[in-house]
Amino acid sequence: MALGPRSHETGTSFYQYDPSLAVAIVTADLYGIAFILTFVQWIRYKSWIWAVMVLAAAMEAVGYIGRCISTQNVTEKPIYVLQFSLIILSPVLMAACCYILFSRILFLVVPRESRTLRLCWVPPRFITPIFVGFDIVALLLQLSGAIMISSASPGDSDSADKVDKGKGIAMAGVIIQLIAFGLFSVAAVRFNFTSKRFSKELEQRYEQVGEKEYIIDGRVRNRHWPALLRVVNLTTLLILARSIYRLVEFSEGSGGYTNKHEWPMYVFDALVIYPCVALFVYWHPGKYLPHLGLRLPKESR
C-alpha cells in the first residue's frame, strides 16, 4: 500500500512506503553470492581490468545489505544515503565494463588493417576512452543528484525542493548515460553481424587446440568468443532498460507512482541488473580474451 512519509517516535521515514525486509534480504543474498563468485573468477583468470565489475558487484551487495538495515531503521539518514547511492551508481560501472569488453573483443577479432570507422563507427582505440568519458560525466551527475536527494531530511521546509533538484541533476546524468549507451548498443549489436567475416581469419592466426580452444600468447582460450559478445549485448540492453526506469522515476518527482511503491525498484532495477553480474560469472571474459590487464600491449593495438 502506498504511504506518505510516516511519522515515528524518533523522526520521519525516508521512504514513502513500508519497505520489505524479506525482499531486501533475498536480494542482498543473491548479490552477495554474485559478488563472491565474481571476485573468485577475477583472481582465477587474473583479469585485472575486471576489477571494475568486482567493484560494481560489491556496491550492489553492500547496497542491499544496507537496505536490509535501512528497512528496520527508516529514519536513519546515513544508512539510507549509503544504500541509495550504491544501488543508483553501480550500473554506471557495469556500463564501463561493457565498453571495455567490446573494445577488447574488437582488438582480438578484427585485424589491424580492418579496424576502420566504417566497421566500428568509432576508432577502436578510442572506444573505451570516449564512452567511459561519458560514463564518468553520468556517474558524477548521478552521484551529485543522489547526495542532494539523500541530504533532504523529511519534515524540513525545503525537503521537497532539495529532492526535486537532486532528481533533476540525477536525471541529466541518466539522460547522458542513455544517449551514450544507446549509441554504443547499436554499434555493439551491429558488430554481431559485421564480425562474422573475420572468424576464419582468427582461426588461421592462432593455433587451435581441439574444436573449442586455441592458444593466444601461450594460454588456452575458448574459441566461442561470439557467446561473450552476445552476453555484452544482452547486458547492454538490460542496463538500458534499467536506465529508462530510473529516468521515469526521476522525472515523476517525489509524488510519482514509482516513488510511492517499492516493487518497481526491485523489478526494474534489482532484477534487471542482476544478470549483468551473474552472466559474466559463467561467460567470464578471461575464458575468451587475452590482454585483460589495465592496458593493451602495443603489438595488439
Query: pLDDT tens-digit profile of 201-232?
Result: 776 677 677 667 777 766 778 778 889 999 99
Which amino acid is residue 57, in one-letter code? Answer: A
Quote the percentage of the chain above a pLDDT of 70: 84
Of residues 294 and 47, more confidence is placed in 47
Which amino acid is residue 162, in one-letter code? Answer: K
Query: pLDDT tens-digit profile of 142-153?
Result: 888 877 876 666
Res. 55 pLDDT band, cuts 50 70 90? very high
Cell numbers standing for residue 258: 514509482
**Alpha-carbon span 298 to 266, nearest angstrom:** 44
Return the minimum-mean-pLDDT range out of 18-32, 165-179, 211-225: 211-225
**Alpha-carbon span 132 to 106, nearest angstrom:** 16
pLDDT over threshold 90, residue 11: no
The string over 20-54, giving b where at least 16 C-beta atoms fall within 10 Å of a residue's C-beta and e elsewhere, is beebbeebbebbbebbebbbebbeebebebbebbb
Cell numbers standing for residue 87: 544501488
User: Strand, coil or helix: what is 208?
Assistant: strand
With contact defined as beta carbons under 8 Å apart, do 238 and 232 qualify? no
Q: What is the pLDDT of residue 64?
A: 98
Q: What is the pLDDT of residue 20?
A: 96
**Alpha-carbon span 209 to 281, nearest angstrom:** 23
With contact defined as beta carbons under 8 Å apart, do 203 and 248 qualify? no
- State the residue for C-alpha cell 568486482: 54
Q: Let me know if 154 is exposed, middle or buried by CB neighbors in 10 A (0-12, 13-18, 19+).
A: buried
Query: pLDDT tens-digit profile of 274-299?
Result: 999 999 999 999 988 887 876 665 55
With contact defined as beta carbons under 8 Å apart, do 58 and 86 qualify? no
Architecture, CATH, for domain 15-110+117-300: Up-down Bundle (1.20)
Task: Kindly report the backbone phi and psi dihedral angles of residue 166, in degrees, each rounded to the nearest multiple of 5, phi listed first.
Answer: -60, -40
Angle 225-252/77-109 helices, nearest 10 degrees?
150
Return the minimum-mean-pLDDT range out of 31-45, 174-188, 278-292: 174-188
**pTM of the predicted structure, to 2 decimals:** 0.84
